[in-house]
Amino acid sequence: MKTRYLQPRLIAFVAAVCVAATAWADEHGGTNLSSITPIHSTNFGIDQAEIEEIKAQMQAAVDGDFIPGALLLVGNARGVGVLATVGMQAKGANTPINKDTIFRIYSMTKPIISVATMSMVEDGLIALDDPVSKYIPAFAKLKVIDRDTDEISPANNVMTVQHLLTHESGLIQAFFSPDSALGQMYTRNLTGDLTAGELAARLGEMPVYFEPGTAWHYGHSTDVLGAVLEVAAGKTLDLLLQERIFGPLGMDETTFWVPASKAYRIAEPIHGQMSDNTVVRRMLSGGGGLNSTAEDYVRFAEMLLNGGEYRGHRIIEADTLELMTQKYLGAEVSREFYFFGNRGDWGLGFHLQPTAGNDANGPHNFGWRGIGGTLFIVDRENDFYMIYLEQKRGGPGGAPFDNNIAQRVVYQAMRH
């Protein structure tokens, strides 16, 4: 990494501002102050010329009609050193992308659910080795399908809460396996405006794709986990998240649906269909239902970078977060369906990707992405988090900028 420094007078000034801001926040409830405190990008080894180069690549994606706009942010507990925005909230719109633009974050919902789960583990409301059937009885007689013959037989292993967190449950998603017999069962049976509990019950009546604990496969695991949390807490997922995460962090605009009065702030894609996120639905999807802003998600990312605490509000213990960022796949778990092949690993709700080349044993960042083009990573080794937000579903390939490129250019700038 580049040597990071500030002149002594500037350090003193920034420290004084932070102390005053913290005192104000404590006096006024702790979370109403903006999460985005500007600091110089050289805190991250990134200079202005590099920021302009990154913005030019982002603008090229806009100019090429891949996306209408995007936002890239790099920060840590001291503040935000990079906040690059390009384009508009929608094609032909007049409102630029900004820190208050509302994005469908899709699967960036999953880490929030995972943190809520571990906070409930700390409180003794749930245990990692609890059978899923303890909360969703339909999983009590678990069955597994033979992928070669489509034969269905009783499962030998018990699906646990931990399997839901690590995506080793055997649950898939029709989107990722549309031609399989199980994917087709999902397509036929998972229809209608279901609640999370109803979805989980239907999934429990169908077989799993493999014995729990034997392979990694992306799918409905976190949707079922959300239903488990509702049963364990005795309240709906929106209220549970408000109590355990959104309220303490001040994430006032991270919601399962957007009030009509805020519809003018929603980012829309050029390519691909996205649902109307102002329509209230019965489904509170723990796997991908949330909408959020950069202003809000900074609070979640900074909390993770800071060992589970944000501005005096502790969400989970540091030891619990450490447990969440351990490697859980191991040599015995099949990586046949793992998105990253042999690179990296998976924790309790986060990807774990090496930050030093492909060294599997080296330092890792953690985080996750959303199918609409969003991504966040937390890198404790290098003391930063990154958030990238756009809205895109499909469309032409070869975009000059996307979430993968965002991560790569940030690391390149830091190390240049």
374 in the same domain as 275:
yes
Q: Using 50 as the pLDDT threshold, list the residues of the chain that sit under it.
A: 1-30
Cβ within 8 Å of residue 189, ≥6 positions away = 202, 205, 206
pLDDT for the residue numbered 348 = 98
Last residue of a domain, one of 233, 257, 276: 233
CA atoms within 13 Å, Cβ hemisphere of 140: 5
With CA atoms as reference, report the closest residue to 349 among 313, 381, 316, 388: 316
Last residue of a domain, one of 233, 262, 293: 233
141 in the same domain as 48:
no
Domain limits at 215? 117-233
143 in the same domain as 29:
no
Going by the DSSP 8-state scheme, the letter that residue 134 receives in this structure is G
154 in the same domain as 39:
no
72 in the same domain as 95:
yes
199 in the same domain as 147:
yes
How far, CA to CA in Å, does 78 sit from each of 17, 20, 154, 310, 378? 10, 13, 53, 12, 15
Give the SS3 label for residue 75. Answer: strand
Q: Rounded to whole angstroms, how far apart are CA atoms 13 and 286?
A: 42
Asked whether residue 112 is domain-assigned, the answer is: no
Asked whether residue 344 is domain-assigned, the answer is: yes
pLDDT for the residue numbered 3 = 34
Q: Rounded to whole angstroms, how far apart are CA atoms 165 and 155?
A: 19
pLDDT for the residue numbered 261 = 97
Asked whether residue 238 is domain-assigned, the answer is: no
pLDDT for the residue numbered 330 = 87
Asked whether residue 2 is domain-assigned, the answer is: no
Last residue of a domain, one of 233, 266, 301: 233
Please state the domain count of the chain: 2
Give me the helices (H) in 85-219, please.
Answer: 109-122, 161-166, 181-189, 196-205
190 in the same domain as 93:
no
pLDDT for the residue numbered 34 = 95
Report pTM. 0.92
User: Which residues, in sequence order, are bridge partners of residue 334?
Assistant: 215
DSSP string, 79-119: EEEEEEEEEBSSTT-SSBP-TT-BEE-GGGHHHHHHHHHHH
pLDDT for the residue numbered 361 = 75
Asked whether residue 150 is domain-assigned, the answer is: yes
Asked whether residue 284 is domain-assigned, the answer is: yes
Going by the DSSP 8-state scheme, the letter that residue 246 receives in this structure is I
Enclosing H/E stretch for 214 = none
165 in the same domain as 50:
no
CATH number at residue 64: 3.40.710.10
135 in the same domain as 213:
yes
387 in the same domain as 312:
yes
63 in the same domain as 151:
no
265 in the same domain as 192:
no
pLDDT for the residue numbered 358 = 67
Give the SS3 label for residue 369. Answer: strand
Asked whether residue 242 is domain-assigned, the answer is: no
What is the identity of the amino acid at 225? Answer: L
Asked whether residue 241 is domain-assigned, the answer is: no
